[in-house]
Structure 1
Amino acid sequence: MDILLARQPIVDRIGAVDAFELLYRSVKQMNVFDGDLATMDVLTNTLVHMGVEHVAEGKKLFVNFTADLLKSDLIHYLDPKRFVIEILETVDIDTEMLSVLHSWKEAGFTLALDDFVTDLLRQHGTELFALIDLIKIDIEAIPTREQSAILHIVRRNYPHIKMLAERVETHEDHTRCLDMGYDWFQGYFYAKPMLMKGKAVPPQLPVLLKMLKWLDTDEKYDEVIDEIEANPYISIQVLQLINSPGMGLRNTVSSVRQAISLLGFSQLKSWISLIVLREMKLASPYEWSNELL
């Protein structure tokens, strides 16, 4: 099975690449774009099929997060030293979400506000912006004068926040954004998103669903291990998960049994649930599949 992923460089004021934003690409396009599925696909392809070190090349990786994914268990599976969490403009910043963002911040993640609008400055104060490390501004969507006002307010009231200009398309855009004092830059002027290709072995959904049922109890411990060891797709994912930098292990784990012992049934169930959801949503053409899932 072919898999696709795109990444676009984010550069500093001297043009050095500091990070990449990961972007969803797929051989099979979704009829209706699903932000949750797109991000799950990006993360699965990065962490499992291509390898985070190959994709990142030592840089930080920006990934878009919806409200549902911010509230999910993904906080436990990602390396805060590698991933920057982009909070989409569709996320409603209320009391519950502020608490969720606080959890991500406590876990050590860098938080970025995507497609920033002036209303956020009017509606929120220190409670939100103390948690934010970076603000992305679409220079095509916001007039230059309004951009200047936003930069001035942020620098004056929240000096820890860095500013990123996105959709920088021309040399004139680049020069103007430099003069305005942006810290980072992203757009076609520097580089278009680069397509990365890979191969993935399709999972066996019946096996995954059977394991999810078994994972409700400790009684099926040996059966779960046998199924995983017999399925190369799942074995590779479990071993790559346990050996990812976010797990903090000093030595490489090469045994599925040892990996499951270290992960525990709870984390293993969460990871398999994510794979099942992703694959079922990709496989189903029906609009009611979301409700059933």
Structure 2
Amino acid sequence: MNTHPPDNANTAVTQTAPLMIARQAVLDQHRAVFGYELFDRSVAPHRHTAASDAQLLFNALSAADSEFLSGKKTIFINCTHDTLAGGHLDLVTPDNVVLEIPPLGVTELEQIQTRLVRLQEITKRGFRLAFDYSALTRSYETWLPLASFIKIDLAVVKPSTLASYVNLAQARSSAQLIAEKVETAEQYEAACALGIRLFQGYWFSKPVLIQGQKIRPAQAAILHLINLVRQQASTHEIEEVFKRNPSLSFNLLKFINSASFGMRTEVTSFKHAVMLLGLNRLFKWAALLMTTSQPGDALPAVGTTAVVRGRLMELLAAETLAAEDSDHAFVVGVFSLLDTMLGVPMQAALSALNLPDNVSAALLENTGPLAAYLRLAVACETGDDATFAEAAATLNLSSKQINGAHLDALAWAEALT
């Protein structure tokens, strides 16, 4: 499980634990994905070095589709002050990158003015900077004009003092505020009420179960399509589903005529589209559409997380499993948050679907050949080191393989939006 650093990186990179790239979504006030924070969970936050930062950047640059770092979403990357002085950032296009700058230690406060020069140089190159709420103290007043983002940690800042921090930030800077470690609906609502418009936290992917919630007509059509495909129905029966559902047929033709599908001539017939896709890919496409067809006030970020999981699992399963099982791995990933999206328990969410046994086993019992892939995908989101190591060992996958697939999955999900 080796991850190779760039030639000019500090040799200490090779002595660290295998790199584990984790991510967390940054959401806007509509609870849609604004960007992602990438961080190395194989190193404790207080032990990050220029070398470990270089390793993270090198993996992001070499393993991911270039669209990931030049796409529409903003990428937040943690940096040490030594990283800012190194040459690693010369490799990165700054347009959509935010560098998260840590405060200095108590014994280093006399270096604030010295560090200011480097921060000013970085912003002139086009990078945006994010500071934590300590930048609002008088010691850091010369840094504050450089802030594009200020993060307020709700696990540390008490509810009674949150308004004071927000008012101070709004009065002294033009930075966008990010409430991080949002764990409850109450925290989210309080931050919104104070004018905060960007958020991070596990609350956004937790299920809110509402017993008996009805499935919307569009979703019912997708469920019907999935069941017909699983029953290996005739092309005529499947074609009829599309004829009766304009939005479903529009999505199918849009997908099959997209550049990613690679057709040389435009496909206008539903029958032709169904035959070109085949049942396996049609099943996978319908699962993806089910995930991105959000009911009511379900969280858009949940759908994005599910899509990333599915693509990550598909890429990793393709290393060792048959093509059909790789397709099933994709379905497990995109359906793994179906309870959250539909607002019902997973058992109820899957009861209307005719799914393969290995898909149901992974989703309902955490067993079977696809369960380890799901555990690994979730560990990549949460930074669960123990589960990451256990699942990677079970699947005989290296950190390099996992990190590359993870970044490719993020790029692929980004291209869908």
TM-score, L = length of structure 2 = 0.42
- Aligned match for 1:105, one of 119, 123, 129: 123
Task: Report the 3-state secondary structure (helix = DSSP H, G, I; strand = E; otherwise coil) of the residue aligned with 1:105.
Answer: helix
Counterparts of 1:102 and 1:80 in 2: how far apart (Å)? Answer: 14
Deviation, 1:50, is 2.4
| Aligned residue among 61, 69, 75 for 1:61 | 75
What secondary structure does 2:58 align onto?
Answer: helix
Structure 2 counterparts to residues 1-293 of structure 1, below 5 A: 1=1, 4-26=20-42, 33-54=47-68, 58-90=72-104, 94-114=112-132, 116-117=133-134, 120-125=136-141, 127-158=142-173, 160-191=174-205
1:134-171 deviation per Cα after TM superposition (whole angstroms, max 9, x unaligned) = 1001111111232211111221232x211100000111
| AA partner of residue 19 (structure 1) | G
Higher fraction of strand = 1
Superposition deviation, residue 19 in structure 1 = 0.5
Give the match's secondary structure for 1:58. coil
Look up the equivalent residue of 2:179 and give its one-letter code: A
Please tell me whether the aligned partners of residues 75 and 104 of structure 1 are also in contact (alpha carbons under 8 angstroms): no
Aligned partner of residue 86 in structure 1, secondary structure:
strand
Closer, same or farther: CA 46–11 of 1 in aligned 2, 3 Å: same
Aligned to 1:232: none
Contact 2:50 2:86 in 1 (8 A): no
Which residue does the alignment assign to 2:282?
A: none
CA–CA distance in structure 1, aligned partners of residues 168 and 73 of structure 2: 29
**How many angstroms does 1:41 deviate by?**
2.3
Instruction: Give the Å deviation of 1:96.
Output: 1.6
Q: 1:141 to 1:166 in 2, by over 3 A?
A: same
Look up the SS of the partner of 1:99 in the other structure. helix
2:48–2:80 contact (8 Å) kept in structure 1:
no
Q: Which residues of structure 1 form unaligned runs of 5+?
A: 200-293
Q: 1:80 to 1:57 in 2, by over 3 A?
A: closer
Gaps of at least 5 residues in structure 2 are 3-18, 207-304, 317-417
TM-fit CA distance, 1:90: 4.0
Rounded Cα–Cα distance in structure 1 between residues aligned with 2:143 and 2:76: 20
Shift of 1:81: 0.8
Contact residue 65 and residue 85 of structure 1 kept, 8 A:
yes
Q: Please state whether the residue corresponding to 2:95 is helix, strand or coil.
A: coil
Q: Give the 3-state SS of the residue equivalent to 2:121 in structure 1.
A: helix
- Alpha-carbon separation, structure 1, partners of 2:139 and 2:74: 30
Classify the secondary structure of the residue corresponding to 2:126: coil
- Residue 48 of structure 1 aligns to a residue whose secondary structure is helix
In 2, Cα distance between equivalents of 1:37 and 1:58: 28
Structure with the higher helix share, 1 or 2: 2
> Is the Cα–Cα contact under 8 Å of residues 85 and 118 in structure 2 kept in the other structure?
yes
> Residues 176-204 of structure 1, C-alpha deviation per residue, up to 9 Å, x if partnerless?
111121120000012499886989xxxxx
Quote the sequence identity (%).
Answer: 27
C-alpha separation in 1, matches of 2:70 and 2:201: 18
Q: Matched residue of 1:11: which SS? A: strand
Q: Distance in 1 between matches of 2:70 and 2:123?
A: 21
Cα RMSD after superposing both structures: 3.0
SS at match of 1:97: helix
Aligned residue number for residue 254 of structure 1: none
Q: Secondary structure at the match of 1:130?
A: helix
Paired with 1:182 and 1:154, the residues of 2 have a C-alpha distance of 11
C-alpha distance in 2, partners of 1:186/1:59? 15
Deviation of residue 55 (structure 1)?
6.8
Displacement after TM superposition at 1:46 (Å): 0.8
Could you say which structure has the larger radius of gyration? 2
Amino acid at match of 2:23: R
Indicate the larger mover: 11-20 or 69-78: 69-78
Following superposition, the deviation at residue 52 of structure 1 comes to: 4.2
Give how far 1:51 is off. Answer: 3.2
